[in-house]
Amino acid sequence: MKISIVLATALFYASVAEAFKTKTPPLSTKWTKEAAEADVPWPSYPRPQLQRQDWVNLNGVWEFQNSTKGALTDMPFGKTLSDEIKVPYCMESGLSGVMKHYDYSVYKKSFTVPSDWKDQSVLVNFQAVDNEATVFVNGKKVGYNKGGYNRFQVDITDALKNGKNELMVHVFDPTDSNGNNPPLGKQRSQPSHIFYTPCSGIWQSVFLEPVPKQYISRLDVLTDMHGNMNVTAISNKATAAQVVMVEVLDKHNKTLISKAGHANKSFMIKVPGVKTWSPDQPNLYNYKVTMGKDVVNSYTGFRTISRGVVDGVERPLLNGEFIFQFGTLDQGFWPDGIHSPPTEEAMIYDIQFLKKLGFNMLRKHIKVEPDLFYAAADRLGIMLWQDMPAMVEYKAPTDDQQAEFERELATMIDNHKSFTSIVTWIIYNEGWGQLPSGPETYLTPRVKSQDPSRLVNSVTGWNDHGAGDFHDNHHYSIPQCGSPFYSIASTPYDKKRIGVQGEFGGIGQNTSAAHLWPVAEAVNSINQTYEITENNDAYNYRTLQVLEQLREQVERYSCSGAVYTQTTDVEGEVNGLLTYDRKVIRTDVPKWQKMIKDIYKAAKSRA
């Protein structure tokens, strides 16, 4: 008896010694521990607007190793890889357990297909892999995707075998090294001040799902405030006149209305007595779509986004009414996960904090989030300005890079146009990656024809050529919003468009070392902050003064929306309403709440 106990203990320790460990990130959040301890991080169904009953989450520990370009034709099939990584965290993050960048890498996961999925096709879904991913199953190449911010799915049915299957992904992500210039937002190979640590590899959820031979591969819905919804269910297969049935449900999942249409063809449904969506009343409706044997669940909200002249001023309208749009510049970076929020709850915390202060909008800044972020914004009620991730600011793109930017812009809009909370698309930020010829003049009509239901902010800050719905000024620290004064790099307010302040604020306060990103190049760049306040009193005195200037401009001039920089500190930036670890709230919450209310009041009185 004794011997077997000793043996069992020895085995136990052996397995513990080999167990995967996350690395301690340079700075931890309130959620780092929970994420590090989760066997399957991000357990929620990852695709809220196209849900199927059956699925297998492939998040968790995968095998991993550094690789080469050449490995693409000599993949280590059937071999054990040298390291491990926790999916879905960027390889540069502590939570991934790697905390290093590799231009080339290989990921491997073994899986078995549940026996009750027999006779169905099997898809593997990647919600995002930065930047190029080549997918193999059991040694057979099954798919490829380029673009670090979009979801893609691969039908792996023909490559499957009974028992254990091997999923392998070869990743290439050079960030901006060696002349590469993909849409990459704030990621830099050499991070400093306003540019941050890059994110490479699988950074969002991976999952398997069974589908019938003919299935819904995409679901698009556009809605308005009158209860109209246009639904398009895209089928993977061409079958003449395939019927699609849509049932819109009430709160108790009872059918409100149902209507039949055809695959790939938009058809209109009118939901009677609909309750509209707004930040204050974020009403949503579930609906169910049936196409042959495929049944999926989704949801939508009903609202109309438009523009119009109110008392002589061009305004953005939500459900026909001018609502001043006030938000923050929201980077969506995390000290423990980089691009990957540590948990879903962490990501939701940021939105709830902004809601609590009274913001009704956020500008998702040159980054794209997991679909669950947009679903949370829809549910909690916050309008989104969605930026296209920029190419680098320090050189012009080549023709090929420009073409890839345009392709990924169209993909981003396709992937997100069914989310209720997105009210505005942004093409360019401050001239970054924007050719001097002004490609937004032809991209704006292209975006509008792809999605006629939203406004387009063609250029937020700097090189304006007159395109789009907005005249958007950036100025730090004080705003110059829809006003008859302006400064270098901006232009006088153009009364034919909506006047907004796409960025202002940025007032900093150096925080104690315990809440700073303790990386030399970041700490050494804190002295580049527009304005530093020595203590929390001074921070609130100055920020509220800047907000008061905004309030006055809203009252006097033609200011319809503004974006305060920014939600949180990030690496070398110490200008957040929250520190990077989300542990310190800089803002005097009651004073900010009152000021934000006063800004909305000023907008009402002016309109």
Ligand X SMILES: *[C@@H]1O[C@H](CO)[C@@H](O)[C@H](O)[C@H]1NC(C)=O
The residues binding ligand X (CB under 6 A) are 66, 68, 100, 102, 222-224, 228, 230, 234-235, 237-239, 242, 252-253, 263-264, 266, 268, 286, 297, 453, 510, 513, 516, 523-524, 526-527
Concatenated DSSP letters for 391-448? Answer: --SSSPPPHHHHHHHHHHHHHHHHHHTT-TTEEEEEEEETTTT--TT-THHHHHHHHH
Token reading at 246? 């849509």
Per-residue HEC secondary structure of 49-103 comes to: CCECCCCEECCEEEEEEECCCHHHHCCCCCCCCCEEEEECCCCCCHHHCCCCCCC
CA-wise closest residue to 348 among 369, 328, 327, 368: 369
**Which CA distances in Å does 401 have to 181, 183, 254?**
7, 9, 49
Whether cis (ω within 30° of 0) applies to the bond prior to 165 is no
- Which residue's CB atom is positioned nearest to ligand X? 238
Shortest distance in whole angstroms from residue 228 CB to ligand X: 4
**Which CA distances in Å does 593 have to 110, 304, 355?**
51, 27, 10
CB-wise, 120 or 298, nearer to ligand X? 298
CB-wise, 206 or 222, nearer to ligand X? 222
Shortest distance in whole angstroms from residue 224 CB to ligand X: 4
Residue position matching structure tokens 């989300």:
582
Shortest distance in whole angstroms from residue 597 CB to ligand X: 32
CA gap 127, 151 in Å, rounded: 4
Ramachandran class of 185: left when φ > 0, alpha when ψ lies in -120 to 50, beta otherwise: left
Shortest distance in whole angstroms from residue 313 CB to ligand X: 26
CB-wise, 19 or 238, nearer to ligand X? 238
Shortest distance in whole angstroms from residue 46 CB to ligand X: 15
CB-wise, 511 or 560, nearer to ligand X? 511
214: part of which helix (H) or strand (E)? Answer: none
Shortest distance in whole angstroms from residue 275 CB to ligand X: 16
CB-wise, 222 or 412, nearer to ligand X? 222
Shortest distance in whole angstroms from residue 219 CB to ligand X: 12
CB-wise, 288 or 591, nearer to ligand X? 288
**Which CA distances in Å does 353 have to 23, 360, 567, 568?**
28, 11, 9, 11
Shortest distance in whole angstroms from residue 402 CB to ligand X: 25
CA gap 443, 388 in Å, rounded: 12
Shortest distance in whole angstroms from residue 131 CB to ligand X: 17
Asked if residues 183 and 408 have their Cβ atoms less than 8 Å apart, the reply is: yes
CB-wise, 417 or 601, nearer to ligand X? 417
CA-wise closest residue to 565 among 346, 352, 336, 365: 365
CB-wise, 403 or 514, nearer to ligand X? 514
Shortest distance in whole angstroms from residue 133 CB to ligand X: 18
CB-wise, 374 or 428, nearer to ligand X? 374
Token reading at 187? 């990621």
Phi then psi dihedrals of residue 410, to 5 deg: -65, -40
CB-wise, 262 or 601, nearer to ligand X? 262
Question: Would you call 568 helix, strand, or coil by DSSP?
Answer: strand
CB-wise, 253 or 255, nearer to ligand X? 253
DSSP state of 195: B
Shortest distance in whole angstroms from residue 524 CB to ligand X: 4
Token reading at 15? 């397995």
CA gap 96, 78 in Å, rounded: 23
